[in-house]
Structure 1
Amino acid sequence: MSATATTTEDLERAPEPSRWNVALREISQSNGLVILLAVVLSFVIGGIMIAATDKGVQQAAGYFFARPTDTLGAIWDAVAGAYTALFRGSIFNYEAATFERAIRPFTETLTFATPLIAAGLGVALAFRIGMFNIGGRGQMLVAASAAGWVGFAVDLPWGLHMLIALVVGIAAGAIWGGIVGLLKAKTGAHEVIVTIMLNYVAYYLVSWMLRTPGLLQAPGSSNPKSPAMKETAVFPPLLGDRFNLNAGFILVILATVLVWWILSRSSLGFRFRAVGENPHAARTAGIDVNRMYIVGMLLAGGLVGLAGVNQVLGASTTGVTSGVDAGIGFDAITVALLGRSTPWGTFAAGLLFGALKAGSFTMKAAEQIPLEIVTVVQSFIVLFIAAPPLVRAIFFLPSPERTRRREARRRKKQLRADVIAATEEAAR
């Protein structure tokens, strides 16, 4: 009887949670909430930096104790003005005279996001196989050079020219990424070292070709730059010549769907995930781990190559340069981390970083906010996402481990009570 009484008392202290409590608990422990709070917290830190560097705030702070409201008002004006300018430059310019000009910022966001998403998918796919692909710069440079050469040196009809340049560029990026997978599979070389070295190889190889007549250098020019792409090889605009958004964004959407299907619906994706979780167990289960490394890096390099192709075929005036990657190869690592290495998460992260990139120019022009502020915000986003316990501690969110232990104790008490009840019922 004492055991039954104790169990009943324990059950009264820990009743069965309601559906609302279960839903709130799942939301509070979800990765999506941590990512959202990490973004919000990063913007708060960015706001503090904006206020600290604003001249109006600094002047008002000089007589803070005399009129504190002036300082608070200056802080509000500085932060609100900066983030309003960010919104106008990346989403919707409500001050524009026409609707066409009003939506132009959103098209610029999509334009900036296009190569980020493509390269981020390549990095995310490598992550899922357990490989750290930081060779995006080299893969982009090689792909851009190959597609660029086809784009300015070959005469083909419209459509076919663009298609061949696209295929050649993606294939070049895939081969450059496949070298990493091959070396890891055959020699055990660490992909981080190999990708770093291949970045340098690609950079100096492309730089040499840009300074060599007959390869990539424009005829009659001493500048390290290729000729502009021919009109037949350029991606067509999606919304007309007044907008920079081109068909590359459609290709990125298709690439996202393809990666989602591979990882979620195909046997190849199952093998990728198995190798990424535990290559030794995958090998024991009969999966050719070395082959998965090669195939995975071929696909990853091709996706990053798509970003490089977009850089040179996105506009007819664009030529190949040694800086055509524009740092996207490294930004892609951030995008993949923010997207939790999932296809649609990477897509959303690319849109966010594209918006920050597009809006930063308006912040600079309208509010004289340094562009580096946006870079700092991006860095803090990655920092907080890499440290979920820190975000949970700041916002007083329950720890998943603690919640699981509490739930295990509740179930143990419930099981003990059921056993005692069944024993008493059998005794009667």
Structure 2
Amino acid sequence: MPVAETGREPQGLEPGQDPQQQRPERPAEHGARRVLREILSGSALLSVLAVVVSLVIGAILIAVTNPAVIQASGYFFARPGDTVSAVLNAVGGAYGSLFRGGLIDFSAVGFWAGIQPLLRSLGFATPLIAAGLGIAIGFRAGLFNIGGQGQILIGGAVAGWIGFSLPLPGPLHLIAALVGGLLGGALWAAIPGVLKARTGAHEVIVTIMLNYIAFYLLDYFLNTPVLQAPGSNTPVSAPTAPDAVLPQLFGSPVNLGFPLVVLLVLAAAYLLDRSSLGFKLRAVGENASAARTAGIDVKRMTIAAMVISGVFVGFAGAYQVLGQTTSGFSTAFDAGIGFNAITVALLGRSKPWGVFWAGLLFGVFQNGGYTMQAANAVDLNVVSVVQSLIVLFIAAPPLVRAIFRLPAPKGARA
């Protein structure tokens, strides 16, 4: 009711103070959560533009390091067309090789031969998608799971041990090895979840430290009879038994892991968008205090989010180990997937199908990068630079908006 009608000043106001000046202050939001929310709330357009800007910078890097471009630039003012032609040839040749090596080779004879690069890229993308889903679930719950490497190592080690040591019949052996990998990743992720819920320990610090512990723990067991191949003098395990290996599909480079990861995408989409558990996880990620007020057990949801995240990441570790029979595994089978999965989750805006397409993109980058290096003598690290730039631009939406002169979202502060 207006002041003039009551003759009384509203509570909490000094005499003569304008009621419009009294506004309830929102509680200060944790900086990391605020940044994460801004990243995840960005549009798909920002993700696409981040990739475009990264590819443009990658093209500049390819051009300035190309020998033909360097030579032509020496007489640029005399014949500028030679420099332009050299730049176009260098960039076009490199990205053309990336496309042929990662997607479709139009020079191949026959449709089946032409899509072999895409099928190989699916193999690279499978563990990235699985691990990216796990990281994304943590993000949606407001948790920074940086322990993908450790969870992959533990999950893969458990799956590998079951794969070469337990004499189980037929498909049961493969199922047991896969389940062991999921449980190994879940157990390793549960540790920071419990510490976060019970003691308030920051999950970023704990998961990073657990990466080192997992690496050196695996290295230790690979030098003992627990994991080391009998008679071997190197820290390598015994090969996976043939009946515990993910079978190839129709004689292609794609194995059973890819359809399984598609099922994981569907499961993650159902969990986050249609289940009550997913609603609680998202509520905690949006505002833990409000979720607690609404009766949600925030501590329990924190542990659940980390465990579920570890299950998905553990599948990536199991895939890395159970996808081959020619040799055992060492401490290197993570292959950087644990950290690349963070990029995949960010690029996919932590949405299951967004993570799927982001994983496919990075699978194409990794597979096509080898062709680009072989055909054009372009350093493979250029692909890593492009991936790193994608992370940079995804993590800085205002920078992308400034480059393309896009308007700020409604309600955003200047």
Deviates most, 361-370 or 316-325: 316-325
Structure 1 match to 2:165: 153
Give how far 1:373 is off.
0.6
Deviates most, 70-79 or 317-326: 317-326
Which residue, out of 129, 139, 144, partners 2:141? 129
Q: Deviations over 1:253-299 (max 9, x none)?
A: 11111111010000001100110111111111100111101111111
**Cα distance change of structure 1 residues 54 and 147 upon mapping to structure 2, 3 Å threshold:** same
Q: How high is the TM-score relative to the length of structure 1?
A: 0.85
Structure 2 match to 1:341: 350
Which residue, out of 191, 200, 208, partners 2:212? 200
Structure 2 match to 1:87: 99
The separation in 2 between residues aligned to 1:142 and 1:391, in whole angstroms, is 37
Give how far 1:399 is off.
2.1
The separation in 1 between residues aligned to 2:178 and 2:410, in whole angstroms, is 47
The separation in 1 between residues aligned to 2:281 and 2:222, in whole angstroms, is 38
Deviates most, 380-389 or 250-259: 380-389
The separation in 2 between residues aligned to 1:100 and 1:290, in whole angstroms, is 51
Give how far 1:100 is off.
2.7
The separation in 2 between residues aligned to 1:294 and 1:384, in whole angstroms, is 31
Gap runs ≥5 in structure 1 = 1-28, 406-428
Maintained 8 Å contact 1:312/1:318: no
Question: Is residue 2:80 matched to residue 1:68?
Answer: yes
Give how far 1:90 is off.
0.4
Structure 2 match to 1:227: 238
Give how far 1:212 is off.
0.4
What SS does the aligned partner of 1:317 have? coil
Q: How high is the TM-score relative to the length of structure 2?
A: 0.88
**Cα distance change of structure 1 residues 323 and 183 upon mapping to structure 2, 3 Å threshold:** same
Amino acid at match of 1:378: Q
Maintained 8 Å contact 2:42/2:349: no
Q: Deviations over 1:370-412 (max 9, x none)?
A: 011111111111111111222122112222238999xxxxxxx
Structure 2 match to 1:283: 292
Structure 2 match to 1:424: none
The separation in 2 between residues aligned to 1:208 and 1:274, in whole angstroms, is 41
The separation in 2 between residues aligned to 1:320 and 1:146, in whole angstroms, is 11
Structure 2 match to 1:421: none
Give how far 1:99 is off.
2.9
Structure 1 match to 2:125: 113
Structure 2 match to 1:295: 304
**Cα distance change of structure 1 residues 183 and 402 upon mapping to structure 2, 3 Å threshold:** closer
The separation in 2 between residues aligned to 1:289 and 1:258, in whole angstroms, is 23
Structure 2 match to 1:138: 150
Give how far 1:98 is off.
3.6
Amino acid at match of 1:107: L
**Cα distance change of structure 1 residues 399 and 268 upon mapping to structure 2, 3 Å threshold:** same
What SS does the aligned partner of 2:47 have? helix
Give how far 1:318 is off.
4.2
Maintained 8 Å contact 2:42/2:397: no
What SS does the aligned partner of 2:366 have? helix
Structure 2 match to 1:263: 272
Amino acid at match of 1:219: P
Maintained 8 Å contact 1:132/1:191: yes
Structure 1 match to 2:379: 370
